[in-house]
Structure 1
Amino acid sequence: MDKVTKERISQLHPSVRAEVTRIIEEIDNALTGRAAVRISQGLRTFAEQDEIYAQGRSNPGKKVTNAKGGQSIHNYGLAVDIVLIIDGKTASWDTVKDWDNDKVADWYECVKIFAKYGWDWGGNWKTFKDLPHFEKKGYTWRGLLAKKRDKSNYVIL
């Protein structure tokens, strides 16, 4: 697990940090070729979410989210986005490449492991597919928005 991933895990909701660490370690063990997994996005502030939401709307670029601040599970530290790092240097979002030649696309090895731990994959969404995205099952942004926060500003689950 690389330094960037460790740092992003440390910012997630305390209730999922150990689990995400196990997931990433299991993925690292499963990917025996040139690819390694990295968390490219974890906790996102409401302001950061609003900035991303503005992309393709009031700011230049392509739309990448339908969620405003508070409307993403990222805003509560209960979601991650991943990327595969090839040979320790090149980012890849190729969902079909099998870098370790085990007859299973490396991306889908990640999907299977996250699912085993009870995480939903954005690639399974019906309308707005988000292939890098995984979120802990059982939470909605509306339910999380209504919850109280602890002294560290994480929602109390």
Structure 2
Amino acid sequence: MAAYVAGAAALLMLAACSGTPVATSPTAPPPTVTSSATPTPPPSPSPTAPPSSAPPVRPGTVPPPWLGTRVLPTTAGGYGEIRTTPKALRNRRFTLPDTVPMLPGRGFASRVTSPAPADVIARSTWVAGCPVAADDLAWVRLTFWGFDDARHTGELLVNASVADDIAGVFRDLYRAGFPIEEMRITTRAELDAPPTGDGNDTGSFNCRPKAGQTSGFSEHAYGLAIDVNPFQNPYLNGDLVLPELSSAYVDRADARPGMILAGGPVVRAFARIGWGWGGDWHALKDLQHFSQNGT
């Protein structure tokens, strides 16, 4: 289900497990920080032309100034209006600023802090009544390969029980040179914002109901699901395409950077830890979505 942060995203969670709200323990022990790093050099960047005073800009690599600002009309279903993909987004390869400091080193690196610090929880969508206790969430910082052929650092909030496995998945993606646009924690303000249909955040925890319902929680609300490059890998259900401007990526035969394809490195990396892919579903497809229970 789409983890992009447009306002209608609150309806997008596909599958859910019921759970009893758990409050954060007031006597939780200090968080434990574990780290991993590898001296493996980063993937070889694509060949580039010799530097010049004004190097040409590759189409699709510079975000348009309106990205994330043009609110879509809302449909009766509560989503944004589905529209043709703007030309600037049809071969999307943006590099957005990292939101956390770069981890040291040259290759892949990760830091797992469990439980997640209070200030990290405070800027997430966690509230009392969520089906997972705040103390059961871990803050994972890790490096990822960007569309600019460079090393970046992002963050995820995940269930502590899977934190090390998730770090291993993104280690595999880094070594494969699979590009990611951005990786950050969704905020409550973003969750409540009106839809723009052009978000592309790779994320995990999001405390909200499953799609089209006002009760019951998705796997994201437990920190047991991750969405990867939602714009290049949309949610498809009949005529509904989410994010709403991502129709250019419905044709999976037209392979472009950042797309998740059957048998590719992303599917293999999550399968290694036993997670299922929404691209294998039959009634609908959630191409960005991976979860522990496959829903």
TM-score (norm 2): 0.31
Q: 2:274 aligns with which of 110, 118, 123?
A: 118
User: Runs of 4 or more off by more than 6 Å in structure 1?
Assistant: none
The Cα shift of 1:17 comes to: 1.1
Question: Could you say what the CA RMSD is over the residues aligned between the two structures, in angstroms?
Answer: 3.3
Q: In the alignment, does 2:199 pair up with 1:41?
A: no
Deviations 1:85-142 (CA, angstroms, capped at 9, x unpaired)? xxxxxx6335552659xxxx7642201111111001011112121000000137x7xx
Q: Distance in 1 between matches of 2:283 and 2:154?
A: 31
The Cα shift of 1:66 comes to: 4.5
1:1-157 map, 5 Å: 1-2=143-144, 6-8=154-156, 11-31=157-177, 35-36=179-180, 39=183, 40-46=202-208, 49=209, 65-66=211-212, 68-83=214-229, 92-93=232-233, 97=255, 99=257, 107=261, 108-137=264-293
The Cα shift of 1:68 comes to: 4.6
Distance change >3 Å, CA 29–CA 37, structure 1 → 2: farther
Distance change >3 Å, CA 128–CA 106, structure 1 → 2: closer
Q: Distance in 2 between matches of 1:99 and 1:4?
A: 17
Unaligned runs of 5+ in 1: 54-64, 85-90, 141-157
What SS does the aligned partner of 1:45 have?
Answer: coil
Deviations 1:21-58 (CA, angstroms, capped at 9, x unpaired)? 110111110126xx247552211113xx4xxx6xxxxx
Distance change >3 Å, CA 21–CA 6, structure 1 → 2: farther
Q: How many residues align?
A: 109
1:125 corresponds to which letter in structure 2?
Answer: W
Which has a greater percent of helix?
Answer: 1
What SS does the aligned partner of 2:159 have?
Answer: coil
Do 1:31 and 1:106's aligned partners in 2 also have CA atoms closer than 8 Å? no
Greater relative contact order (CA < 8 Å, ≥ 6 in sequence): 2
Which has more radius of gyration? 2
Unaligned runs of 5+ in 2: 1-142, 145-150, 184-201, 234-248
What SS does the aligned partner of 1:110 have?
Answer: helix
Q: Distance in 2 between matches of 1:67 and 1:126?
A: 21
What SS does the aligned partner of 1:12 have?
Answer: strand
Q: Distance in 2 between matches of 1:4 and 1:75?
A: 26
Distance change >3 Å, CA 36–CA 7, structure 1 → 2: closer
What SS does the aligned partner of 1:44 have?
Answer: coil
Do 2:275 and 2:292's aligned partners in 1 also have CA atoms closer than 8 Å? yes
Percent of matched pairs sharing the same residue: 27
Distance change >3 Å, CA 112–CA 79, structure 1 → 2: same
2:155 corresponds to which letter in structure 1?
Answer: E
Q: Distance in 2 between matches of 1:118 and 1:129?
A: 19
What SS does the aligned partner of 1:92 have?
Answer: coil
1:74 corresponds to which letter in structure 2?
Answer: H
TM-score (norm 1): 0.55
